A and B are shown apart, each in its own frame.
Chain A
Amino acid sequence: MVTYIIRRLIWGVVMLAIVSMITFAIFFLVPRLAGATSESLAARYVGRTATAEQVKLAAERLGFNDPLVVQYGRFAKGIVAGADYSYGPTVEHCPAPCLGYSFLSRLPVWPDLLDRVPVTGSLAIGAAIIWLIAGVATGVISALRRGSLFDRAAMSVALAGVSLPIFFTGIVSLVLFSYGRPFAITAPGGSYTPFLTNPALWAYGLILPWITLAFLYAAGYARLTRSGMLETMNEDYIRTARAKGLTERVVVVKHGLRGALTPILTIFGLDLGLLMGGAVLTESTFSLPGIGKYAIDAIVNQDLPKVMGVVLVAAFFVVLANLLVDLLYAVVDPRVRLA
């Protein structure tokens, strides 16, 4: 078990390295293959007003003249050992893990990203709890009352849920429940308050994003749970459970749901991991300063260190989620052996 985890962790680090190399290549190798020069790359980061000489200087300072391997090596070294930068009167040390300085704001990326993890975390975990409970409950009831009015209504809503994009449901819910409406149950967009500052305001500002995001996922989970339950309730061991004289509730929850939950748990872990890397649309729609919003801004500005940072953080969460899901799998399904 321990060796398994260690091996997986090492593999995770390798994955992150590969991801960072690919990202690096996309942003630096591909444009060069398409004809970009060190200067044309640097020109993006010195504004439109810079002279050719300033652009050249910037290219040198940003290290664009070095071979790509050296550039990547410098980036990797910063993560492991930290790096020194000078954007002002003094030289500043950026301690490990140094993801570099934003090309545009000239501020270090890592503290910025760290700052945003709690926002995305609050959003993702809160929504995840809602969608897991709502989705699974709906799915179970639908499966048990297959073909009933509830089942058909719930599945229609679920279909809508998975089909409607966040920026639509988000805006509709904002219009309905915010903007000074009499039924304003939530703060308008952009009102994130850290949990530690004020838990009530934290929840107040997040309730609408939670529900909107949860709606999207709950829909999928309801469908997933429903089909999983329908399958599981046909298993022989359910018949055995009934033959033992167990009450229907115990049969459904302890035997049926337990069996149907394993694949759901897997997907749940991966979904949560993905979301931790940034709930892009939700964060944009509700103006939450999370990783997803950060990613958008970074991509729009082609701010490479920021993009690399976001990609690595997102990849980290996906790798972590995969590991946790695999470990969890071994816990929920005794047939699984980790090796």
Chain B
Amino acid sequence: MKRRTTLGVTALGAVLALGLSACGGGGAATPGQSGAASAGGGDAAKAEFNAALTQVFNPSDKKGGIIKLANAGDWDSLDPGDTYYGYSWDFIRLYGRSLVMFKPAPGKESAQLIPDLAESLGVPSDNAKTWTYKLKQGVKFEDGTPITSKDVKYGVERSFDKEVFPDGYTYFNDTLDWPKGYKGAYKSKDANTDSAIETPDDQTIVFHLKQPYSGFDYFAQLPATIPVPKDKDTGAKYKEHVISSGPYKFDKNEIGKGFTLVRNENWDPATDPNRKALPDGYEVTTNVNADDIDNRLLSGDLHLDIAGTGAQPATLGRVLTDPNLKAGTDNPTITRLWYTSVNGNVKPLDNIECRKAVQYAADKVAYQTAYGGEFSGGQIATSLLPPGIPGHEDFNLYPPGPDNHGDIAKAKEHLTACGQPNGFETNISYRAERPKEKAAAEALQQSLAKAGIKLTLKPFPQADYFALYAGKPGYAKDNKIGLAVNGWGADWPDGYGFLQQIVDSRVIRETGGSSNVSVRDPEVDKLLDQASLETDVAKREPMWAQIDRKVMEDAFILPGIWAKSLLIRGKGLTNVYYSDAFGMYDYLNMGLQ
């Protein structure tokens, strides 16, 4: 789960309310959204609502200028081995090249992986347990040193040390076959790590996994595969001056305040067909007041809100009611699902009929309103997989009435089948710091009450929500937490990444901490295992929909909405388009008019 930035630093009061959401990022346009914009082929520079959703808005190859960006918070880290924000993965490609990358293209195309530092996508062998990449010739660091496979290996090795690099993910830590007791490049300096990563020559790198995994190319696009020269590595301080392998390098960098990027003369466009490198540089200010950012975007002082999470509530009202302003925005559906777990361990929800009653009785419109409505909240979800994830299929097993306000008659039918014709009582938990989740819980409380299902609200602190309360099976069962308000986003638009953590019953630990609170179906686990072995993308993608359908049949998850965000297009920017892969604009190829 890649982090979403939360913008809460405007006032002291916000300090308490602040917290990182559990997961997020990634994203895709819904099929419904694409209609208006893609049908055109008309004037791509014409400013209209959602103009940059599925096509390139204002395409241009004009070079020059400085793009100004602002961030309401700060990077977790600019270090490629230490960053887990979606916008950071989007932006880091300006100064770093990983083995593979998401295609810099609008809409669904962006979910496609293409080689970057490597000559081609990974070549699997040993039943997808071994993955081999060949590096391109002639790629250099900013100081002119040629980049070798050893620099890539070193980058992955150093990212192992979570004490020095606490912000990153642990995909490589968890999946590669590291030697026993390995502690990373700093603390296990002399360890032989060939069991995990081999570099038979300067252009070849081979990854050895503990388990077969068909989606390893998604790992190879992670910033941790960006090469790091060992002799220039300064540990935690490396983020102050990351040695660039991309078209731009750091000029001035003040952590906590901002930084500037200038052209990297040692970047050779011949090795890099994917990057346009249009502006002469980038000027980034961090820790800027979020409302200030929106206003400056609208006035043209600023080109981009780099966090990519969308406009502030104060701006939304203004933008959506003013047609001129609205025409300068895009409203994509991102790959995030807000849902409610239905815990089969809590009676009478162990009976599938009772779970189905919940599905029918839920007022989805009220759920949507709880999260901010159609534009800033999201679209009503009928299954797990968001539309932007390859493999998504439209289906709706439990239509809650014609207007989505709940089908009480159907719900009562299933309650009767469950042996609870008069309804039952249970608890619903939510994260106390999140008013939207509270509103969602209240919405469910009201709509389920119509069917006789009485809910009691149980707020818990978000820091321990999964570790001690809703996510701890023993606690949830003993305290009859039948429903748990929840949410999930994928690190990248991939069925495995989205589904595995929330539907695989084997991630549930008695000690608590897992995001999967309710889905326990051995068949689902089996389907997941099959998919992770399938290296053929065309065969793999339909399997995600199959899992989705199975979980919905079990009625273990009540889908609420697929989240949307409202992005403001900066004035004067060229090549603006929404990337499904990052759930925000693609920052790689923007230019200035």
Q: Do chains A and B touch in the complex (CB under 8 A)?
A: yes
A112 contacts partner chain B, Cβ-Cβ < 8 Å: yes
Residues of A within 8 A of B237 (CB): 87-88, 106-107
State the Cβ distance, A166 to closest chain B Cβ, in Å. Answer: 9
* Contact of B235 with A106 in the complex, beta carbons under 8 Å: yes
Range class of the B interface residue count: 35 or more
Q: At the interface, yes or no: A296 with Cβ under 8 Å from chain B?
A: yes
Total CB contacts across the A-B interface at under 8 A: 143
Closest A residue by C-beta to B298: A179
State the majority secondary structure of interface residues on B: loop
User: Which of A41-49, A69-77, A129-137, A153-161 lies at the binding interface?
Assistant: A41-49
| Chain B binder among A53-61, A216-224, A236-244, A262-270 | A53-61
B515-541, CB under 8 A of A: which get 1 and which 0? 000000000000000000000000000
Contacts A89-B186, A106-B235, A188-B296 given: A47-B162 contact, CB under 8 Å? yes
Contact A190 B288 (CB under 8 A): yes
Interface size class of A (residues with CB under 8 A): 35 or more
Q: Are B235 and A287 in contact (CB under 8 A)?
A: no
Residue of B nearest to A293 (CB): B287
Contact A286 B74, CB 8 Å, known A115-B254, A294-B256: no
B39 within 8 A of A: no
Task: Give the CA-CA distance A201 to B8 in the complex, in Å.
Answer: 29
Q: Which of B285-315 contact A (CB under 8 A)?
A: 285, 287-289, 291-292, 295-296, 298-302
A84 at interface by CB-CB < 8 Å: no
Q: Which of B9, B18, B163, B173 contacts A57 (CB 8 A)?
A: B163
CB-CB under 8 A for A54 and B163, given A107-B255, A280-B12, A289-B256: yes
CA–CA, A104 and B166, complex, Å = 7
Interface check B188, CB cutoff 8 A: no
* Inter-subunit contact B70/A190 (CB<8 Å): yes
Let me know if B287 and A47 touch, CB within 8 A. Answer: no
The minimal Cβ–Cβ distance linking B448 to chain A, given in whole angstroms, is 32
Select from chain A the residue with minimum beta-carbon distance to B183.
A57
A259 → chain B closest CB, angstroms: 38
B235 contacts A88, C-beta separation under 8 Å = yes
85-130 of chain A: CB within 8 A of chain B? 86-90, 101, 104-107, 112, 115
> Are A189 and B15 closer than 8 Å at their CB atoms?
no
* Minimum Cβ distance to chain A for residue B521 (Å): 26
A170 to B298, CA, bound (A): 18
Of A61, A174, A190, chain B has the most CB atoms within 10 Å of the CB of A190
Task: Tell me whether chain A's interface is mostly helix, strand or loop, or mixed.
Answer: loop
Cβ B11 vs Cβ A284 within 8 A: yes
Q: Does A51 contact B (CB under 8 A)?
A: yes
Collect the chain A residues with CB atoms within 8 Å of residue B9's CB: 284, 293, 296-297, 300
User: Across the interface, which residues of A come within 8 angstroms of B240, CB to CB?
Assistant: 107
Within 8 A of A (CB), among B205-236: 233-236
Q: Are B287 and A289 in contact (CB under 8 A)?
A: yes
Q: Mark A2-44, 1 if CB is under 8 A from B, else 0.
A: 0000000000000000000000000000000000000000000
Known contacts A58-B163, A189-B292, A190-B70; is-contact A88 B301 (Cβ 8 Å):
no
Q: Is A199 an interface residue (CB 8 A)?
A: no
In the bound complex, CA of A112 to CA of B254 (Å): 9
Q: Is A144 an interface residue (CB 8 A)?
A: no
Instruction: Let me know if B15 and A296 touch, CB within 8 A.
Output: yes
Judge if A50 is at the interface, Cβ distance under 8 Å.
yes
Q: Which of A50, A58, A174, A287 contacts B287 (CB 8 A)?
A: A287
The reply to whether the CB of B413 lies closer than 8 angstroms to some CB of chain A is: no
When chains A and B are docked, how far (Å) is the Cα of A112 from the Cα of B257? 10
Report if B84 contacts A (CB, 8 A): yes
A137 to B185, CA, bound (A): 65
Q: Tell yes or no: B170 within 8 A of A by CB.
A: yes
CB distance A105 to B255 under 8 Å?
Answer: yes
A50 close to B162 (CB less than 8 A): yes
A-B contact pairs, 5 of them (CB 8 A): A51-B170, A51-B173, A87-B236, A105-B236, A190-B70
Q: Which residues of A contact B (CB under 8 A)?
A: 45-51, 54, 57-58, 61, 86-90, 101, 104-107, 112, 115, 167, 171, 174-175, 178-181, 188-191, 280-281, 284-287, 289, 293-294, 296-297, 299-300
Contacts A112-B255, A281-B12 known; list 5 others, CB within 8 Å: A50-B166, A88-B235, A180-B301, A297-B9, A300-B9
